[in-house]
Amino acid sequence: MVTIRDVKAICTAPDGIALVVVKVETSEPGLYGLGCATYTQRWITVADAVEHYMKPLLVGKDVSRIEDIWQMAMASPYWRNGPILNNALSGVDMALWDIKGKMAKMPVYELLGGKVREAAVVYRHAGGFSTQDPRYGKMTPEEMLDEQIEHFLEMGTQYIRIQKGRYGGVQDLEAVKPEGACPGEYYDPHQYMRETVESIAHVREKYGNRFEILHDVHERLEPIDAVRLAKDLEPYRLFYLEDCLAPEQVDWFKTIRNQSATPLAMGELFNNPMEWMGLIKERLIDYIRVHISQIGGLTPAKKLQVLCEAFGVRTAWHGPGDVSPIGHAVNVHLDLSSWNFGVQEWQGFGQGCLDVFPGCPELKNGYVYLSDRPGIGVDIDEKAAAAFPCDPTLPRWTNARRPDGTFARP
């Protein structure tokens, strides 16, 4: 029996974004697994949970018992389904799938039922520039947006997320902030709504049906405004509208569903199965978008994908810069082996990640491909990783505020 000998967190920021990877070493010399536990805003606490709780819980356990370990480790803290411990568990869970693939001499997608497609079609981000962008002010937002669209079209991209500026739009609200307002990332929800419809109308007018259009509201609107935006965007036939409600307001999806045919994607902020169960059962969304390490790893994500298939919901796993290449590869193992795959969000890797994580999935002509190495297929160069320490500074962008200074869900 091969057992778990050590469990450790490796925190590294090769592209300037804090990533957390869990390495599970085994009693078999040279056999280890890697998993993604990336929660970039609270990476220190996740790493701490891995060291102080996952390690003592799991050392000595049989590596083959993935389901049993997942169930035991999920309920061991009694309180469960929170972001910190879900990420710590995800790192272990993915690492155990990596080990099982290496022992079976198969890529993980083979363990999940084999390929239903050779590669996963991706969606890219256009227009998400910030007022800090050196080109801002020299180029109009439309010119910056078009430049990014042209770049992605040259790369064969078929799905492009259109944002006019950051989440909440191109905002430079120094002028409207109340006297002595507290610091924050100010934006005007109604200005953002108007700009978004104008931007997408411009894109559809200029590019026709050359690519599928997506947009990410990022929970930046009050529910009734989300209803209005979904209706206002209906004529432009989006592939989907992402995160148009905050998780606390998902009951409003019923209203949106009844008033608009704009396809809806939700889930990157979910941690708890009770957040998605109703949306799927009632067929209130079209795409599920969880951040796989935030729900506890590949084991629960596979179960979620199968649940969604029964209700006609497709997958569009969260794939931002704050997922490690191991996490991105796990997304793609699921993408390749799931019949109800929709689209894969793809941020792409900087040279730092490519150097630290040998075997990164490869983007070719709008599709992402996995190596056929056994397991997850991505390794880590720990020495190179150590050269990119994570920054403990708290993120500014999550301090979002409306013109009157009210804090807004970011």
**Interface positions with Mg ion (CB under 5 A):** 216
> Considering 167, 192, 240, 367, which one is annotated as catalytic?
167
Least distance in Å: CB of 27 to ligand GCO? Answer: 36
- Measure CA 124 to chain center: 12
For ligand GCO, give the closer residue by CB, 40 or 324. Answer: 40
167 is catalytic: yes
CA 178 to chain centre: 34
Q: Name the token pair of 267.
A: 């889930």
Scanning residues 84 to 103, which ones bind ligand GCO (CB under 6 A)? none
Cβ proximity to ligand GCO, 64 vs 272, nearer residue: 272
Residue 269 CB, nearest distance to Mg ion (Å)?
9
40 binds, among ligand GCO, Mg ion, none (CB under 5 to 8 A by kind): ligand GCO
Our CA angle for 238, 244, 247, nearest 5°, is 145
Partner interacting with residue 322 (select from Mg ion, ligand GCO, none; CB below 5-8 Å by kind): ligand GCO
Site residues for ligand GCO, 256-275, by CB under 6 A, read: 268
State the Cα angle at 391 between 386 and 395, rounded to 5°.
Answer: 150
Cβ closest to ligand GCO, residue 56 vs residue 395: 395
Dihedral sign for Cα atoms in the order 84, 267, 354, 166 = negative
For the chain, the straight-line distance linking the first and the last C-alpha, in angstroms and rounded, comes to: 47
Selected binder of ligand GCO within 77, 247, 320, 405 (CB under 6 A)? 320
178-181 long-range contacts, Cβ below 8 Å, gap at least 24?
178/403, 178/404, 178/405, 181/401, 181/405
- Note whether 364 and 337 are within 8 A (CB): no
Residue 390 CB, shortest distance to ligand GCO, in Å, is 14
Window contacting ligand GCO (CB under 6 A); options: 6-14, 64-72, 112-120, 315-323? 315-323
CA distances, 115 to each of 337, 359, 361, 369, 409 (Å) = 5, 19, 15, 12, 38
**Token pair in block for residue 58:** 């799991």
Q: Which residue is nearest to ligand GCO (CB)?
A: 320
- How many Cα atoms are found within 13 Å in the side-chain-facing hemisphere of 11? 20
Q: Is 216 in the site for ligand GCO (CB under 6 A)?
A: yes
Part of the chain binding ligand GCO (CB under 6 A), chosen from 72-80, 233-241, 274-282, 318-326: 318-326
CB of 219 to Mg ion, least distance (A): 9
- Any idea of the CA torsion for 347, 348, 354, 358, to the nearest 10 degrees? 90
Asked about 236 being catalytic, the answer comes back as: no
**Binding of residue 185 to ligand GCO (CB under 6 A):** no
Query: 125, 218, 291, 328: which one is catalytic?
Result: 218
To ligand GCO, the closest distance from the beta carbon of 268 in angstroms equals 6
Out of 322, 334, 353, 370, the residue judged to bind ligand GCO by CB under 6 A: 322
- Rounded Cα gap, residues 247 and 373, in angstroms: 37
Q: How far is the CB of 218 from Mg ion (least distance, A)?
A: 6
- Picked from Mg ion, ligand GCO, none, the partner binding residue 401 (CB below 5 to 8 A depending on kind) is none
Instruction: Write the CA distances from 390 to 14, 17, 82, 256, integer angstroms.
Output: 9, 7, 22, 40
* CA-wise closest residue to 8 among 403, 394, 393, 386: 386
Interface pattern 337-366 for ligand GCO (x via CB under 6 A): --------x---------------------
Give the number of other Cβ atoms within 10 Å of residue 151's Cβ. 12
The count of chain residues that interact with ligand GCO, using the rule CB under 6 A, is: 8
Residues engaged in binding ligand GCO (CB under 6 A): 40, 216, 218, 268, 318, 320, 322, 345
**Residues classed as catalytic:** 167, 218
